[in-house]
Amino acid sequence: MIAISFDHARNVIIRGGQNDICREIPCISRVPTGIGGLDTLIQGGFPRSSLILLAGHPGSGKTAMAGQFLYSGATQKEKGVYVSFAEGRKPFLEFMNALGIDLATQEQLGNIKILDMVTVKEEGLSTVLEQVLGAIQSLKAQRLVIDSFSAMGQAFTREIEARIMLHTILSKIVRGMGCTTILTCEIPWGSERVGMGIEEFIADGIILVTSFVENFSIKRRLIIVKLRGTDHSVQYHDLILSSRGVKVVPVPSMK
């Protein structure tokens, strides 16, 4: 596979025909997400060195998807850093384990690093940035997850700090260090707004996940709203969480 810059790649949009399952285009370097059923909807994976916003309601599956993305990288020689602003290290690892995703072993093997920022965030922007950049450098990580960007933004006292953080992530980490990055973003119930009004414009990709009650049970659904340089699916898909991981399948009525 020939790796070309993402800036160039985003201009190479080749239509994949009428089918919702898109063709893989060999000239764009892709990072497979490892989320079952998702990669075929996005021409093989996220464009390398892209910034992806994974936005959705509470419990819609954002952390599960982000964990699967890191696990998939870790088992394929792409190390990753998980930065947690909302829940601690232990509950995160337990949750992943319940999904059949053994991130604890990958951490012991040195393939991922979990940064628990639940308390550190109070020390401010420079401490957070220093730790995130340090972890990526020491691990030579190629994948990064910040979970959640919303919780991180709330921790800073001034909005400008969240903006600085976002621009540093984009310029230094994504473009500079070549880290393919997922920022999760909480959408409160009843709100249509994706982010704080900045990250959705900067992001190379936006994936929306939603959960709702249908036939007396919780359903989760996903749609790819934007993915630069990619002829992606434009339909809703079901998102299934189970003890065998995370997968994306066509909505039964649309098969």
Ligand X SMILES: Nc1ncnc2c1ncn2[C@@H]1O[C@H](COP(=O)(O)OP(=O)(O)O)[C@@H](O)[C@H]1O
Q: Looking up tokens 């009843």, which residue turns up?
A: 190
DSSP alpha helices (H): ranges in the chain? Answer: 6-9, 62-74, 89-98, 103-108, 125-139, 149-155, 159-168, 199-202
| DSSP 8-class letter at 187 | -
Task: List C-alpha distances in Å: 126 to 3, 116, 121, 222.
Answer: 33, 16, 10, 34
**Whole-angstrom distance, CA of residue 195 vs CA of residue 66:** 17
In the complex, minimum distance from the CB of residue 67 to ligand X, in angstroms, rounded to a whole number: 8
Nearer to ligand X, 77 or 214 (CB): 214
Q: Which does 61 bind (CB under 5 to 8 A by kind): Mg ion, ligand X, none?
A: ligand X
Nearer to Mg ion, 63 or 68 (CB): 63
Query: Residues 45-74: x/- map of binding to ligand X (CB under 6 A)?
Result: -----------x-xxxxxxx----------
Q: Which does 99 bind (CB under 5 to 8 A by kind): ligand X, Mg ion, none?
A: ligand X
Nearest residue to 119 via CA among 169, 168, 155, 81: 155
Nearer to ligand X, 61 or 73 (CB): 61
Q: Which does 245 bind (CB under 5 to 8 A by kind): ligand X, Mg ion, none?
A: none
Question: Which listed residue (190, 243, 252, 253) binds ligand X by CB under 6 A?
Answer: 243
Where on the chain is the footprint of ligand X (CB under 6 A)? 56, 58-64, 98-99, 241-243
